[in-house]
């Protein structure tokens, strides 16, 4: 009986420790006015992206859901309009796994939209395989597609006299590494049939997000456009929809018990989008609505510049 009580105490104590640390919640308190402003949210049809889009629509922004699936995007738009009583939420086709699609999206956006105030590079996945252009799918979608999208839309952000780019990374960047030789030879950050191999590639793609944000900030220095990378928390989303069935069976009970819901997971993104006075922190990494220290590999400025140059070459810029 005593042993059972001790074990129960340890489990309860461990649970409360986890929800106060690894699974800690935060709340965006930014009050930036969004009426009349235009926002792009990639992957805005579900999870963190949809929660983010809903908040920004509620604040009066014109929200563009940049998604691959028209049907899922239109369902999300209908839901957001009903919940917010806002009608200025629209769909534009974007497949981040296709550089052609990214260019088509940017061309369409620049032709039809007169301004851009906020670009939220939200979409991401954990999966194996290749993109349409032959890149590792995690590198291609999580980093390269967003890199090209940001580059193509950057002038529109600058034309408006300011704006922000918020890119969702992850604490997983701490376990990432960038093998530039492998990237040059075969366009991937790691490959293999086992889940741990493409999870490692996912971590590396999240490192790319942090390094990209740092280098973007360096290149934007002196302009009115700022940028931030974000760890949203460990959130129940569709991020791992491509993992195997037995992994889902293991992950799902833990997720229901501990993981944040998308609403909570959107708070740090919203903080970086809406909090006043963040401009001096451009290029920094945020979690729980506060600036955080990055992992060792993310402090390599030379790697950030090299990744930028390689990404430009791969995108044909």
235 is a domain residue: yes
Q: CA nearest 119: which of 167, 50, 52?
A: 167
270 is a domain residue: yes
Q: What is the pTM for the complete model shown?
A: 0.86
The domain total for the chain is 1
87 is a domain residue: yes
Render 23-65 in DSSP notation, one character per residue: T-----------TT-EEEEETTTSHHHHHHHHHHHHTT-EEEE
Question: Which tokens is 260 given?
Answer: 């944040």
20 is a domain residue: no
Most distant pair of Cα atoms in the chain: their distance: 71
Instruction: Indicate if 202 belongs to the active site.
Output: yes
> Could you tell me the residue range of the domain that residue 160 belongs to?
35-315
Q: Which residue has the higher pLDDT, 71 or 128?
A: 71
269 is a domain residue: yes
CA distance 131 to 278: 35
pLDDT in tens, 133-152: 999 999 999 999 999 999 99
- The CATH number that applies at residue 115 is 3.40.50.720
17 is a domain residue: no
pLDDT in tens, 271-304: 999 999 999 999 999 999 999 999 999 999 999 9
What's residue 6's pLDDT?
40
Q: What average pLDDT does the segment 92-103 reach?
A: 97
What's residue 191's pLDDT?
63
Whether residue 175 is predicted with pLDDT greater than 50 in this model: the reply is yes
262: pLDDT confidence band, cut at 50, 70 and 90?
A: confident
What's residue 30's pLDDT?
83
Of 15, 202, 228, 285, which one is the catalytic site residue?
202
187 is a domain residue: yes
pLDDT in tens, 47-68: 999 999 999 999 999 999 999 9
């Amino acid at each position: 009986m005593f042993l059972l009580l001790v074990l129960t105490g340890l489990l309860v104590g461990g649970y409360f420790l986890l929800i106060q640390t690894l699974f800690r919640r935060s709340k965006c308190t930014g009050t930036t006015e969004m009426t009349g402003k235009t926002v792009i949210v990639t992957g805005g049809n579900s999870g963190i992206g949809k929660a983010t889009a809903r908040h920004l629509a509620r604040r009066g922004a014109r929200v563009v859901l940049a998604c691959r699936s028209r049907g899922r995007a239109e369902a999300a738009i209908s839901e957001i309009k009903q919940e917010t009583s806002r009608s200025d939420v629209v769909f534009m086709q974007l497949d981040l796994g296709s550089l052609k699609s990214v260019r088509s999206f940017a061309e369409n956006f620049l032709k039809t939209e007169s301004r851009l105030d906020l670009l939220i590079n939200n979409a991401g996945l954990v999966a194996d395989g290749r993109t349409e252009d032959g890149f590792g799918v995690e590198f291609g979608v999580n980093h390269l597609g967003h890199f090209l999208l940001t580059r193509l839309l950057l002038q529109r952000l600058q034309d408006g006299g300011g704006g922000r780019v918020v890119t969702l990374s992850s604490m997983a960047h701490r376990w990432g590494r960038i093998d530039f030789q492998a990237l040059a030879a075969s366009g991937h950050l790691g490959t293999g049939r086992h889940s741990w191999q493409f999870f490692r590639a996912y971590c590396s793609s999240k490192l790319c997000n942090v390094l990209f944000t740092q280098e973007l900030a360096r290149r934007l220095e002196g302009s009115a456009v700022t940028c931030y990378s974000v760890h949203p928390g460990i959130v129940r989303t569709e991020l791992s929809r491509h993992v195997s069935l037995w992994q889902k069976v293991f992950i799902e009970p833990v997720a229901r018990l501990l993981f944040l819901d998308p609403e909570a997971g959107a708070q740090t993104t919203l903080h970086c989008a809406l909090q006043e006075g963040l401009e001096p922190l451009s290029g920094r990494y945020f979690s729980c609505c506060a600036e955080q220290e990055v992992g060792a590999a993310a402090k390599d400025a030379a790697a950030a510049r090299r990744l930028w140059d390689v990404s430009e070459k791969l995108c044909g810029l």
